[in-house]
A and B are shown apart, each in its own frame.
Chain A
Amino acid sequence: MTVLETERLTKQFGGLTAVDEVNLNIEQGEGVSLIGPNGAGKSTFINLVTRRLEPTHGEITFQGNSILGLDPHEVVQMGMSKSFQTASIFPELTVKENATIAALAAEHGSFRFNFFRNQNSYPEVEELANEVLESVGLYSERENQADSLDYGNKRRLELGIALAAEPDMLLMDEPTAGMSPDETKSTVELIKRVKQELDLTFLLVEHDMEIVFDISDRIVVLNRGSVIAKGTPDEVQDDPAVQEAYLGGVEE
C-alpha cells in the first residue's frame, strides 16, 4: 500500500524552481532516504510535504487522500510526523511535560474544549507520556528541565515526541546532525529498532552517506529540484548521474 505519493510536485520562488515536477511514492514499511547536494531542494520538498509551504502546482496524497489545503497539524493528526533538523523541543518545560504535550495531541486530537478539567483526570495521557519516555530511555530524566539534557538526549526526546502518536510515517530532517559518533550510533540503533517494532515508514533527509546506506531500503537523489536517480542503495551508488551531481557540482 502506498503511504505517501507526490505527483509532479513543484515549488517556485519568484523565478527560481526549488522543486521541479517531483514524483515520489513511499510504500508501507519502507525506509526511504532523500539525498542530494546542497541546494538540491530537499528542505523545500520536506516543507511542501509537511504543509509548511504551498506548492506552485502538483499533488500530494497521504494514505490515499489529498492533503493539499490542510494545515500542518491536520497532516500530523492523519499520521505523518516530523522530526526537525535541530532538536526542536520545549526547552523550559520538564522532560515529562514535553512528552505529555505529544501524548495530549495523540490522545485528544488537535483541539479539545476541556480547560476546566484537571490534567490528572486523563490517566491515559500520563501513561502514554511515560511509555514514550521509556521507549527513548529518558524516563529517569523525567523531572529535569528539557534544556538541561545533553544534545544527544535532546534529539532522543525529540524523536520520542515525534513518535508518541505512533505515526504511520515519520519525516526525519538530518536526525544525527551535530551529534558525536557515539550519539550518532545510538540514534541510528534507535531508528532501526523503532522501524522494526512499529513497522515504521520513514522518509529521511541526511548528509551522512554511511547512515543513509545503512538504514534505507530505497534512495531518491535530488539535484536542482529534480529527481535524477532512484533505487536501492547499490543501484544509486553506481549511478553515473549521481556521481556527476556530487562530484561535478562541488569540487573540494
Chain B
Amino acid sequence: MRWGESGVTLLADILTILLNGLQQGAIYVLLAVGLSIILGTLKFVNFAHGALYLLGAYLGLFITGQVPLNNGQLAEWGIQSYGIGLGFIAALIIVPIVVFVIGLLMERFVAQAFYDRPDTDQILVTFGLAIIVQELLRALLGGSSQPFPQPSWASGPIALPVVGNFPRWRLGVIAITAVLVLGVYGLVEYTDFGLIVQAGTLDGEMVRLLGIKLSRPYLVVFGIGAALAGVAGVVGGPLANVNPNIGTEQLVPAFLTVVIGGVGKIEGAVVAGLMLGTLQVLLIQTGYAAWSQVGIYALAAIILLVRPQGLLGSEVDVS
C-alpha cells in the first residue's frame, strides 16, 4: 500500500466522521437554537421544547402519508390509520406553521403567567405540559415506534468526492438546518425586529420607556423557537423511528447544547451542537460506541464546570 492511498482513506474517514457529526449535531442545533433564544430573550425555561419536537414528528407523519394504527385508543375505537398523504415537502412547510401557532398559544396562555415566577415553577409547569403531550399521543396512537419514510427524492446514497457514498437524506438534514439557522440568525442580527428583541434582552425596562411594546416581539420569538423544534421533528423523523419518547430523549441533549454554547447565543448553539454530534460519531466510529452517550455528558459536565457561562456566553452579572 502506498502512503498516498492511505492518506486519502484517512481524509475520507475524517470527512465522513465530520459529515455524520454535522448531521447528528444538526438536530441538536435546531432544537437548541429555539430553546436558547427563548431562554435568552424571555428568560423562560421551556422543558416542553422536546414535546414540540415530538408534535412536529407526529404532525409530519400525519401530513406525509398514511400511518396504520395497531394499538392505542384510536385503534380500539376502530380507526385503522391516520394521515392525509400530502407528501414530505408539504409537511416541511405546514408543520412549522402549525407548531408556530402552538408556540404562540403556549406563550399567551402558559409562559406569560410564569415570567415573574421562579425558574423552578417554569420548569415544573412546562415539564407537566410535556408529559401531557407525550402521554396523550401515547394513549391515542399507541406507544410503538413508527417508521418515518424518507422522501423518495432524497433516499439512497449520493457520491461525494473523497468521501464516497453518503446517504442523501443526511446531507439534506445538514442543508435544511443550515438554511433555517442562518435565517433565524439573520432575523435576529440584521432586522429591526431582531434589534428590538436584542435590546429587550439587555434592558427591557429601557425599551419599554422608549415606547416600544415588547409583548409582540416576545410572542414571535416564542413562536419561532417552537417552529424550529417542529421542523426538527420533521427533519429528524426519517433518521430514526418515531415514538412518544423521542421528545424527552432529545430534550436533555438540546438543553446541554444551549448551556454549553452559552444561553441566548445562536452561534454558541451551533458550535456546541456540532461538537456534541461530532464527539458522539467519533466515539462510535472508533469502536467506543458504548461510551458515545457517556462521552457527550462528560464533555458537557467538564465544559460547564470550567466555563459555567458556556463557550460563547459572556460573564453574567453577580445577581
Contacts and interface: CB of A to CB of B under 8 A. Distances in A.
Are chains A and B touching directly in their complex (CB below 8 angstroms)?
yes
Contacts of A47: 318
Nearest to A52: B318
Nearest to A54: B318
Interface in A46-89: 47, 52-53
A227 to B, nearest CB: 24
Contacts of B318: 47, 52-53
Interface in B77-100: none
Chain B residues touching A, majority SS: loop
Contacts of A52: 318
A245 to B, nearest CB: 25
A47 B318 CA distance: 10
Nearest to B319: A52
Interface residues of B, number: 1
A53 B319 CA distance: 10
A224 B82 CA distance: 69
A52 B318 CA distance: 7
Contacts of A53: 318
A106 B318 CA distance: 25
B116 to A, nearest CB: 15
A75 to B, nearest CB: 15
A12 to B, nearest CB: 13
Interface string B275-319: 000000000000000000000000000000000000000000010
Nearest to A47: B318
A187 B318 CA distance: 29
B69 to A, nearest CB: 50
A53 B318 CA distance: 7
Interface in A196-251: none
Interface string A16-54: 000000000000000000000000000000010000110
Nearest to A53: B318
A199 B318 CA distance: 33
B248 to A, nearest CB: 33
A117 B237 CA distance: 56
B221 to A, nearest CB: 26
Interface string B219-240: 0000000000000000000000
B315 to A, nearest CB: 10
A47 B317 CA distance: 12
A137 B203 CA distance: 40
A222 B160 CA distance: 67
B309 to A, nearest CB: 15
B14 to A, nearest CB: 39
A136 B173 CA distance: 67
A153 B255 CA distance: 43
A217 to B, nearest CB: 31
A60 to B, nearest CB: 16
Nearest to B314: A14
A173 B318 CA distance: 17
A181 B318 CA distance: 33
A53 B317 CA distance: 9
A47 B319 CA distance: 11
A249 to B, nearest CB: 20
A193 B178 CA distance: 68
Nearest to B318: A52
A18 to B, nearest CB: 12
A67 to B, nearest CB: 17
A25 B318 CA distance: 26
Interface string B127-159: 000000000000000000000000000000000
A78 B154 CA distance: 70
A221 to B, nearest CB: 26
A176 B214 CA distance: 33
A53 B315 CA distance: 13
Q: Which 3 residue pairs across A and B have the least CB separation, nearest first?
A: A52-B318, A53-B318, A47-B318
3 contacts: A47-B318, A52-B318, A53-B318
